[in-house]
Amino acid sequence: MAAAVFRSGLCRIFRHRPSLGATALTFERARYTSRAVEKAQFIWMDGQLVPWDEANVHVLTHTLHYGLGAFEGIRCYECSDGRSAIFRLKDHIVRLNNSARILGLQCPYDVPTMIDACIETVKANQLKECYIRPLLYVGAGEMGLAATANPIRLSVAVWPWGAYLGDAGLDNGIRVRTSSYQRFHINSLMTKAKAVGHYINSILASIEARDAGYDESLMLDVDGYAAEGCGENLFIIRDGRVKTPPIATVLEGITRSSAIEILRAKDVEVVEERFTRDEVYIADEAFFTGTAAEVTPISSLDNRTIGSGKPGPITRSVQDEYFAAIKGERPDRSDWLTYI
């Protein structure tokens, strides 16, 4: 049974779920645009497809305690011709492999095997569109910070997932606030790794924004410059010129690189340089990119309306081209898609 749930002006469809109980109410209230995962049939674990409810790990799994692990978020789309295709699958898996190297994890699978695992899992679950979550994690065995003998395990889960920041957000833009939490220093944590433990920083900032009635947070770097959203890269447009923070302090977003490629193909100047939050205030347009967020316009930051307060022409052109590409409607970008 499905019920329409309205939160922060966004209409999303949630599956019926039992009460979470008093201990979870505060956290659930904060997650305005989140929703329960819709169960699929199988999860790929260490080379085997396991029934969803049997895909379990031991409570002493090392990553569960210490956060050392790497993951990816990938989308599979139903294309206009009815086929399904995974967006930039190889790029995501190469980044996953690179994250493992950065973290010193000896990945037991090569890139082609992990690509095949993602494809196999989507096919086994018979989903036309879905979110794909490969996770490399340190299994049970030794405990303590310097454990080195534990197995490195891989799982791949898939589930249906709509617009992360809401369909209304994609259409009309989202309200953003500057977070009190900073993006971490490049020598505190490794910014090129999409690491499990890194996301504590993002979770705190995301909950802070939603508890205050906003859709998302903008995080600054340790020098006070605009860095990124909680799970998105940032773009601003002023006088027809596009800026995005350099990758020194942010994750190298795959949707980010797609947006840059789209913009440059349209002969729009794109500059990767630092800028302050007040430059976002006076921008003509701004948007976030990410696998989950896709291309989401920003209508305001810290209650300052950006431009007209509606998605601008450059943002719309990136959205249009991006969604055409993921639907298989751009033959010149067919290399972004892995058909299954």
The yes-or-no answer on residue 327 being catalytic is no
Which entry of 128, 194, 243, 310 is annotated as an active-site residue? 194
- Residue that has been written with the tokens 């923070």 in this structure: 245
Tell me how far apart the alpha carbons of residues 233 and 251 are, in angstroms, rounded to a whole number.
8
DSSP E strands: which ranges in 171-315?
174-178, 216-220, 226-229, 233-238, 241-244, 270-272, 285-290, 294-301, 304-305
Whole-Å CA distances, 62 to 123, 147, 160: 30, 8, 28
Per the DSSP assignment, residues forming a β-bridge with 219 are 228
**Would you state the structure tokens that stand for residue 157, as one six-digit string?**
């889960």
Per the DSSP assignment, residues forming a β-bridge with 175 are 300
> CB of 127 within 8 A of CB of 38?
no
Tell me how far apart the alpha carbons of residues 205 and 210 are, in angstroms, rounded to a whole number.
9
> CB of 207 within 8 A of CB of 27?
yes
> CB of 155 within 8 A of CB of 95?
no
- Residue 15: its H or E element: strand 10-15
Tell me how far apart the alpha carbons of residues 297 and 316 are, in angstroms, rounded to a whole number.
8
Helix axis angle, 89-103 to 111-125, nearest 10°: 130
β 42-45/48-51 pair status: antiparallel
Tell me how far apart the alpha carbons of residues 246 and 251 are, in angstroms, rounded to a whole number.
10
Greatest alpha-carbon span in the chain = 57
β 42-45/285-290 pair status: unpaired
How many helices and strands in the chain, by DSSP H and E?
9, 19
Q: Which residues are catalytic?
A: 194
